[in-house]
Structure 1
Amino acid sequence: MTDVWSRRAFLSAAGGGALLLGAPAARAGAAPADGTHDAMRAVWLGLFLGGDVPAGAEPFRSRLADLGALSAGWRSAMAPAPGSLWPDLGYGADPEMMMQSYYRLRTMAEAYLRPGTGLAGDPGLRSDLLTGLDHLHADVYHAGQVRYGNWYCWQIGAPQALLDLCVLLYEELSASQLAGFCAAVDHFVPDSVVGSYSGTSTGANRVDLCRVLALRGVVGGDSAKIALARDALTPVFPYVTAGDGLYRDGSFVQHTWVPYTGTYGAVLLGGLGMLFALLKGTAWQVTDPGAQIAFDAVERAWAPFLFNGLVMDGVSGRAVSRGLMVADPRQVQQDDHARGHAVLAAILLLAQGASPSERARWRALVKGWMARDYYSRPLADASLPLSSLARLAEAESDTSVTALPEPVGHRLFASMDRATHRRPGWAASLSMASKRIAHYETGNGENLRGWHTGSGMLSWWGATYGNGQYSDAFWPTVDPYRLPGTTVSRKVLADGAGGDWGASRPDAAWVGGTTDGEFASLGQHLRGLGSTLTARKSWFFLDDTIVCLGAGIRCSDGTVVETVVDNRNLGAAGTHALTVGGVVQPAALGWSAAFPSPGWAHLAGFGGYVMSGPGSFRGLREARTGRWSEINRVGSTTALTRRYLSLWYDHGTDPAGAGYVHQMMPGATAAQTAARAAATGWLSVLANSETAQGVSVPSLGFTGVNFWQAGSAGPLEAGGPCSVTVRERPDGTATLCVADPARALTSLTLLWNRPVAAVLSRPQSLVSQDTGTRLRLGFGDLTTAAGAGQQVVVRLG
């Protein structure tokens, strides 16, 4: 057989424009005489394999052995028959099983090429691979076959794997086999799939389709296909104002209504990285200046959601339900850390086509995230392909790169109803929903109980603790009616309630807020999913706390309504001490109690909570058992049990105007929590009603108000619904940030009853200003600002 390794010696995985030296003569009709397509095929092979993997060093030695064992098992189980290649992957009614069959073959082909698997160059495996490819082609994936089921399997999943196989096994395939496989791809993925930027041909899906077209051109020697793929990337680059794609504020949306930075976003980054590298140095190199938007997005769109190596679940859509899959014989955990590691690897891949300064900074960021991921070490991540593992290992070992720390600051993503708050020692993420963004996404039988994710879910992590909070079987075991931070009706919902693919969007427009880049005032007009529940919720993100306000909580479902202060996953056996008002509470499972407000609570190992509003709050310790299969149709059926400590307000059945006020203090000690509760003058609640919600913290120079309608709160008066954040600085200046989250104001007047000497800087939207004993600002049309803050800097009088 052909000497695979002597060919691989000529490959360069890093350059994108590498040549395959000593390449075999081109097949008739497969490549031009100059060997361009052969060279590009060599580049793709290097990208797919990730360069030279040190087979004798860990973790690669073990991973390669596992790859060999997995492939050997699949090889022995392969039994071609009508409607299946493997008995457990019958594709007669479900094309996903056909796609998974191609995935298995691709894994086996990788084992055939890589030394250290025990199968490198094995002639029997070669024969079985060709048998499998021919069987799938004759039985299901060929020109003339009528498509059924999920479109993705036919147009992205299966053809990507098939074309990868064509590259991996190119020397072993006959010209007729290659022609037949290319004809199958042309049948299911015609040029017309990128004819318009709409439907399933947008965002990350468009990048995936371009990958198919480009590699089809390389494998089949069709330069027109490669040019089409390059040109079809063009609509991916510009910022969008609705639907799928990247927004100017850093939001990334897929499926029209779903924040998807964490999963589809990783696909987009990795896909662009592969294509940029494949086309680099060729006649089809991407030169569109819009491509810089994708490079800028690394820090504008992705970095804010990465923390200690994980990517926050609020931007991963239905993927949060994919913890363990029955189709995965290795039972590899898919969680926020695994998804984060995939994003890190995608950033390194994209860096190959970036400027030297961008490449250096991104490698430093990745090295920092890797170093801080104490909970799930990236190089021990069995879910990562070996190529990604190799890129991460190379970055980690690069002594010329100094790891960068986590950033500090606040980012509001108004176009996808998400926000991140990052302080020294902790980070938080807020998930909301509106007529623009879905409560949650379900589809293909996945994420069946994520109903209340967009009802104000407030997630948070410490720098050195709590990083497994949502990784450790959280989604299958948590009470889905008690997601942390949410206000929900306990009305029983059916699995998948609200409809698939982001159909569950509330009729609410005022969702968003303002930030000066460090602190923030955010609000949500909440309307419950499948419920009569309505409420006004506000969050004020400060230096060591998040102040949470609720007002106008109303419901007529005939069920109890609750606001969840927090719901901490304590793991399989956690007994973290809970102290309430200085008294340590029982640690026994089943403990439950009610406490008066004002009051405070502290959970050892996590932080503190200060309750200062109306109503009592409750606490509960419980062990909850669930299965991934209960929230995902292909999830593992293994029962999992985790312990939880929940704190919540019980607003009673059918509340008619309930409210709450509390602070959440990540990482605070019991003494710090008690001191904050005793410092009654530290925080002033300016308003907490259906007209406005606002707070003031004089020691921070902070005033924040969310006006649900025209009104006043403390020193601020607004002529219409808006969000206002004011920061007074020690240098005698102040910054006012004003936004129209509902995107409905054609004009707005704001009064600040504070002496102001002069306006130092202003946005274009400011059409009038009056200074003196008080400040009067007049804004013009804000409907086109997409909820973005309008910042005014003044000198105080």
Structure 2
Amino acid sequence: MRGHPRRVLLRFGALGAAGALGALFPAPPAHAPDTSFVALRRRWLAVTAATPFDPAAEPYRTGLARLGAQAAGYRDTMAPADGWLWPDQAFPSFVATPARLRAMARAHVLPGTGLTGDAALATAVATGIDHYRARVYSADAEQVGNWWHWRIGVPRALLDAALLIGPHLTARQRAGLRDAVDRFVPESVLGSYTGTSTAANRVDLCTVMLLRAMLDDDHGRAALAAAALAPVFPLVSAGDGFYRDGSFIQHTTIPYQGAYGVTLLTGLATLFAVLRGSPWPVADQRVFDAVERSFAPFVHDGFVMDLVRGRSIARQAFGDHRRGRELAAAILQLAESASATTRSRWRAMVKGWAVRDTAQPMLPAAERSDLAFHARLAAILDDEAIPAAAEPTGHRLMTMSARAVHRRPGWCAALSMASHRVGHYEYGNGENLRGWHTGSGMLYWWAEGHGDHYSDAFWATADPYRLPGTTVSTLRLPDGAGGSWGDTCPPGRWVGGATDGEYATAGQHLNGLESTLEAFKTWVFLDDAVICLGAGITAGDGVPVETIVDNRRTTAPLTVERGWAHLAGHGGYVLPGGPALRTLRAARTAGTVTRDYVTLWLDHGADPQGAGYVYLLMPGATRAATRARAADPGWMRVLANTAGRQGVRVPALGLTAVNFWQEGTAGPLGASAPCAVLVRERGDGTATVTVADPRRALDGLTVTWDRPVRRVLRGHRLLADAGTGARLTLTFGGMADDEGASHTVTVRL
């Protein structure tokens, strides 16, 4: 059958194309079709292979024709042999060969490819599936290499292709594929929520199980696929999954919203849509909260920040923007299962991302990679009733994943740390061999117009010992140092801080990766600056220790004066007391790619004992603003900068911030145990005192502030006692169980 409807229109989750697809592809099994599975297969086709656009309109006509030409090329060059299906893809070819078969199957089902409904193409796909199954993915094959290919990658692609070609897969071919999938993806993989069957992997495994159920009208497996999603939704306090503060962890120790998290959300969005109206709908909607709590904080102008992308930062240039598009596509699809209010808010958010992503514009990129997403995004961009949501302002501190994001008008910064529960970095499958120091206090920042700063070959060419914001021993490390799969957690427990949602003090008790380095690092995030403090910097590796003030991929002019420096078009740096700032301008090459860098750093010398630093980062600041800040010694007062306490006072903001590494006092603040304290005096005669226990170890904590206080206006559920008068005394209880969260008390001065 070659004919197809001229126009297939599916608007945001409607099933207008389901009937046409069902006509082309009725029920695959040879036995009497189960009506629930007939509907489910049509739903799968409608959600994953239908076209929410007019296939005769551009750019869709060209894109579909391109897919058809690609599929025809695969069909014409297929040459089955014992060692391959295509001569240029020798077996096992876990990725390329199944992907080609699925592309051919999509060309068979999608309109406008020139091969729509082509029986010969569908037969070629069936032949290819069976050939690959018999020689690579057979029920008696020996599993080699990465488990993921056998349980997720290969069966997902083969089953999807099989469903797309429908009855063109013979009963024998279907049985062979069924038996192979059952061997490598038995029901037992969904029996316990552990190991490689958690979070994003669990969603992928459930998808494979559902596809397997659709292949053979298996009610038991369909019910299992839906039910086994249940452990994904509840918040966790350890291991893989979503946390109360918005953190998302995969591989036990790695923040992963920007890779595995995107996979999870994409899979759930698909399953919500496919299973809606079936006997096995997904009822738990707690993941909807994660869109704005866990994912959106790490999207800036359309790209996903690298500090939540794990080892995938090393894969390709502009991978952060690609992940941003994938996340946006997942959110728009998930929106169809959300309330009208939520759907409107998410569409405005995605529209804002697309409008602001000028480094790699989202709509043209979607045209090249995902026509369905392109159509949905184009409709939103063209709809004047949907506003483009602005970049938010404020601070998000996620102690459970040792991450922080700070947004102010015109700039954004993000902080990546490591702790006893969060690895320095992840290395695995030969990827990210030199990401050693990304958890050593790396401070990312973007001023306006710099959305591609870490995208354009940064990870391939940047000096891995000189990542911005980090303090590192220059001891040379082997590739993959510290162990694979995120097994790089240091012993430090004090990692986190306190935030009132606008400003923040964050800190890290740093232990170097495979070195003797120890340091105490504090960052205070404000309106136009990040105050950076370091203390107790000690090491005995026999090599210099450095703090990297910045490492910018640029050829911009650099001005260095005593006490300050300015990088044109980027921002400024203020160094109170005028410590010697080292600088280097160099081109760095990786393979055929060369990028220019300007590096600024502080040299603490070999084997320092208790070294320290103070500097201000001013993203987007002009040269004049930087010079003026350096000339104003009263703008900031350092209250303490030792291995016991680090703190500052900024009078103009009424702000006092102290990280207490040990009990004691710093300026007007005192604490009975290690904690973080942020005080804001406001112009209306009130003040807020925000307290946190980053170590998550305190049953009780007393904080004092030498400031006359009349009364407590708003307490907190953990506030056990408060004393006012000549000084404020606040006593908190039960903080150990609150996952490092910030607790704010409001007082009348």
Give TM-score scaled by structure 2 length.
0.96
Distance 2:547 2:559 in 1: 20
Distance 2:267 2:421 in 1: 27
Where in structure 2 are the equivalents of 1:209-358 lying within 5 Å? 209-288=205-284, 291=285, 293-323=286-316, 334-358=318-342
Distance 2:382 2:178 in 1: 40
Q: Give the match for residue 575 of structure 2.
A: 611
Paired residues, number: 746
Task: Kindly indicate whether residue 636 of structure 2 is the aligned counterpart of residue 683 of structure 1.
Answer: yes
Q: 1:118 to 1:606 in 2, by over 3 A?
A: farther
Distance 1:125 1:26 in 2: 19
Task: Kindly indicate whether residue 562 of structure 2 is the aligned counterpart of residue 601 of structure 1.
Answer: no
Q: Identity of paired residues, percent?
A: 55
Q: 1:178 to 1:400 in 2, by over 3 A?
A: farther
Distance 2:57 2:483 in 1: 48
List runs of 5+ in structure 1 lacking aligned partners: 324-332, 582-595, 628-638
Among candidates 455, 462, 467, match of residue 440 of structure 2: 455
Where in structure 2 are the equivalents of 1:579-728 lying within 5 Å? 579-581=559-561, 599-613=563-577, 615-627=579-591, 639-728=592-681
Q: Which moved more, 1:194-203 or 1:77-86?
A: 77-86
Q: Which moved more, 1:7-16 or 1:514-523?
A: 7-16
CA drift at 1:692: 0.6
Where in structure 2 are the equivalents of 1:532-551 lying within 5 Å? 532-551=516-535
Q: Which amino acid in the other structure matches residue 283 of structure 1?
A: P
Q: 1:452 to 1:73 in 2, by over 3 A?
A: farther
Q: Which amino acid in the other structure matches residue 81 of structure 2?
A: A
Q: Which amino acid in the other structure matches residue 428 of structure 2?
A: G
Q: 1:345 to 1:19 in 2, by over 3 A?
A: closer
Distance 1:477 1:210 in 2: 39
Q: Describe the superposition over 1:412-463 as per-residue Cα deviations: whole angstroms up to 9, x where unpaired.
A: 011100010011111111000001000001100011111100001111112x
CA drift at 1:745: 1.7
Give the conservation status (yes or no) of the 8 Å contact 2:581–2:600: yes
Distance 2:687 2:543 in 1: 46
Q: Which moved more, 1:164-173 or 1:695-704?
A: 164-173
Q: Describe the superposition over 1:242-277 as per-residue Cα deviations: whole angstroms up to 9, x where unpaired.
A: 000000100000000000001111111111110000
Q: Describe the superposition over 1:726-763 as per-residue Cα deviations: whole angstroms up to 9, x where unpaired.
A: 11111211111111111122221111001111112222
Where in structure 2 are the equivalents of 1:43-442 lying within 5 Å? 43-92=43-92, 97-122=93-118, 125-288=121-284, 291=285, 293-323=286-316, 334-381=318-365, 384-442=369-427
Give the conservation status (yes or no) of the 8 Å contact 2:508–2:520: yes
Q: Describe the superposition over 1:476-515 as per-residue Cα deviations: whole angstroms up to 9, x where unpaired.
A: 0000001111111111111111111100111110000000
Q: Describe the superposition over 1:268-320 as per-residue Cα deviations: whole angstroms up to 9, x where unpaired.
A: 111111000011112211223xx2x2001111111111111001000000111
Give the conservation status (yes or no) of the 8 Å contact 1:414–1:512: yes
Q: Give the match for residue 497 of structure 1.
A: 481
Q: Which amino acid in the other structure matches residue 628 of structure 2?
A: A
Q: Give the match for residue 39 of structure 1.
A: 39
Distance 2:365 2:8 in 1: 27
Give the conservation status (yes or no) of the 8 Å contact 2:8–2:53: no
CA drift at 1:781: 2.8
CA drift at 1:577: 1.3
Q: Give the match for residue 5 of structure 1.
A: 4
Distance 1:52 1:350 in 2: 15
CA drift at 1:55: 3.9
CA drift at 1:645: 0.8
Task: Kindly indicate whether residue 436 of structure 2 is the aligned counterpart of residue 443 of structure 1.
Answer: no
Q: Which amino acid in the other structure matches residue 45 of structure 1?
A: L
Please give the secondary structure, in 2, of the residue aligned with 1:79: coil
Distance 2:64 2:389 in 1: 31
Give the conservation status (yes or no) of the 8 Å contact 1:550–1:661: yes
Where in structure 2 are the equivalents of 1:518-529 lying within 5 Å? 518-529=502-513
Q: Describe the superposition over 1:338-367 as per-residue Cα deviations: whole angstroms up to 9, x where unpaired.
A: 111111111111111111111111011001
Give the conservation status (yes or no) of the 8 Å contact 2:255–2:310: yes
CA drift at 1:174: 2.1
Distance 1:503 1:126 in 2: 46
Task: Kindly indicate whether residue 658 of structure 2 is the aligned counterpart of residue 733 of structure 1.
Answer: no
Q: Which moved more, 1:556-565 or 1:116-125?
A: 116-125
Give the conservation status (yes or no) of the 8 Å contact 2:29–2:217: no
CA drift at 1:790: 1.7
Distance 2:376 2:159 in 1: 22
Give the conservation status (yes or no) of the 8 Å contact 1:37–1:219: no
How much is the aligned-residue C-alpha RMSD, in angstroms? 2.1
Q: 1:166 to 1:643 in 2, by over 3 A?
A: same
Distance 1:613 1:216 in 2: 67
Q: Which amino acid in the other structure matches residue 616 of structure 2?
A: Q
CA drift at 1:27: 5.5
Q: 1:31 to 1:373 in 2, by over 3 A?
A: farther
Q: 1:119 to 1:611 in 2, by over 3 A?
A: farther
Distance 1:88 1:26 in 2: 34
Give the conservation status (yes or no) of the 8 Å contact 1:457–1:485: yes
Give the conservation status (yes or no) of the 8 Å contact 1:549–1:659: yes
Give TM-score scaled by structure 1 length.
0.90
Q: Which amino acid in the other structure matches residue 483 of structure 1?
A: L
Distance 1:56 1:5 in 2: 12
Q: Describe the superposition over 1:604-651 as per-residue Cα deviations: whole angstroms up to 9, x where unpaired.
A: 111111111563111111000014xxxxxxxxxxx2000001111111
Please give the secondary structure, in 2, of the residue aligned with 1:783: helix
Distance 1:543 1:371 in 2: 24
Q: Which moved more, 1:195-204 or 1:128-137?
A: 128-137
Task: Kindly indicate whether residue 743 of structure 2 is the aligned counterpart of residue 779 of structure 1.
Answer: no
Please give the secondary structure, in 2, of the residue aligned with 1:456: strand
Task: Kindly indicate whether residue 5 of structure 2 is the aligned counterpart of residue 20 of structure 1.
Answer: no
Q: Give the match for residue 559 of structure 1.
A: 543
Q: Which amino acid in the other structure matches residue 244 of structure 1?
A: D
Q: 1:263 to 1:495 in 2, by over 3 A?
A: same
Q: Which amino acid in the other structure matches residue 477 of structure 1?
A: T
Task: Kindly indicate whether residue 744 of structure 2 is the aligned counterpart of residue 791 of structure 1.
Answer: yes
Distance 2:548 2:63 in 1: 42
Please give the secondary structure, in 2, of the residue aligned with 1:472: coil
CA drift at 1:76: 4.5
Please give the secondary structure, in 2, of the residue aligned with 1:505: coil
CA drift at 1:66: 4.1
Distance 2:382 2:654 in 1: 44
Give the conservation status (yes or no) of the 8 Å contact 1:490–1:561: yes
Distance 1:4 1:489 in 2: 67
Q: Give the match for residue 591 of structure 1.
A: none
